[in-house]
Amino acid sequence: MSTKTFSQEVAKLSIAERILKAKETTEALTYKVLDVIELHEANKIIVYSDRLASQIPKSHAANAFTTFQNTMFNYEVIKCIALWDRADDNVISIPTVIELIDDAEVLDSLINETRSAHLSLEPRILNPSEDPEIQAAVSEAVLRSQEEFSASQAGKAHAGLVGALSMAKEIIQRERTTSIKNLRDHLAHNLIVTRAEQRGSIPNMKYGDEKNLLDISIRLVEDLYCWVNGTSFDIRTDCVELAKRRAEELWLNCRFDI
């Protein structure tokens, strides 16, 4: 069994291997985010609204419904903070992607991928001129425009990647993130005292902290998918709206007769 840290293992990989692993992890990470979004949209009705709770009268059923609410909320917390689990070869998380790309040569290679992808596109010239000189001038102008656009996109890639790295590192260190991780450790492991609590006082997580972390996670994963995998993935609008419709279709049509 290897005793090397993940950082040491990553350092041994070639630039191409690090990028390939980062692309694969980011791809898998998007689906983990979608799972949390589905849970969150359901919990907006189950936990944060009274649409279902108001239908439950004073009865033994009320206890069962409270158990259901707590289970749904706790599972969302566990799944949401899992997006921020430690960087490791066996862990699909934002820190794993960050560890793989946090290197000057890796970033340069990803930025060059963006530039090359736009430079390699075959430009289309509508209504080409029959005059060779005019056509040559048009072709030169189109090529120059393509080169400028490629440079602009490379600049956006640089800003996006550097921004994602900076934001992720800041979120990892946030007190609120530590609070959510601490609650997850209690929920998942039946601990009396967590390792974090052994090191010092940990503030309690508050309702809504999980939504804030999910919103940040969505923005980061969108940015990583765009600049690491080279294509956009609309999570904030299309995916969230779809999850909302699905949740409402089920839970807003549930009726309790107790």
Predicted pLDDT of residue 116: 86
Q: Looking at residues 13-22, what average pLDDT do you find?
A: 97
Predicted pLDDT of residue 153: 87
**CA-closest candidate to residue 225, choices 94, 102, 121, 128:** 94
CA 234 from chain centre, in angstroms, equals 11
Predicted pLDDT of residue 151: 83
Dihedral (CA of 172, 94, 39, 230) sign: positive
Question: 11 CB contacts (<8 Å, ≥6 apart)?
Answer: none
CA 42 to CA 32: how far, in whole Å?
A: 16
More confident site: 145 or 70: 70
Q: Looking at residues 251-258, what average pLDDT do you find?
A: 93
Predicted pLDDT of residue 42: 98
Going from the C-alpha of 158 to that of each of 19, 34, 105, the distances in angstroms are 15, 26, 12
Confidence of residue 124 (pLDDT cuts 50, 70, 90): low
Predicted pLDDT of residue 209: 96
Here the contacts of 150-153 (C-beta below 8 Å, separation 24 or greater) are 150/114, 150/115, 150/116, 150/118, 150/119, 151/115, 153/114, 153/115, 153/118
Q: Looking at residues 97-115, what average pLDDT do you find?
A: 96
Confidence of residue 123 (pLDDT cuts 50, 70, 90): low
Predicted pLDDT of residue 205: 96
Q: Looking at residues 139-163, what average pLDDT do you find?
A: 81
CA 41 to CA 19: how far, in whole Å?
A: 33
CA 91 from chain centre, in angstroms, equals 14
Q: Looking at residues 98-105, what average pLDDT do you find?
A: 97
Predicted pLDDT of residue 125: 63
Question: 57 CB contacts (<8 Å, ≥6 apart)?
Answer: 258
More confident site: 42 or 116: 42
Predicted pLDDT of residue 129: 64
Q: Give the model confidence (pLDDT) of 207-226 as tens digits.
A: 999 999 999 999 999 999 99
Angle between helices 15-46 and 94-101 (to 10 degrees): 160
Question: 157 CB contacts (<8 Å, ≥6 apart)?
Answer: 110, 111, 114, 115, 227
CA 127 to CA 140: how far, in whole Å?
A: 16
Contact 21, 100 (CB under 8 A): yes
Predicted pLDDT of residue 99: 97
**CA-closest candidate to residue 171, choices 243, 108, 100, 80:** 80
- Check pLDDT > 60 for residue 2: no
- For the chain, the domains span 6-176+204-251
Predicted pLDDT of residue 148: 77
Q: Give the model confidence (pLDDT) of 37-95 as tens digits.
A: 999 999 999 999 999 999 999 999 999 999 999 999 999 999 999 999 999 999 999 99
- Counting DSSP H helices and E strands in the chain, the numbers are 10, 0
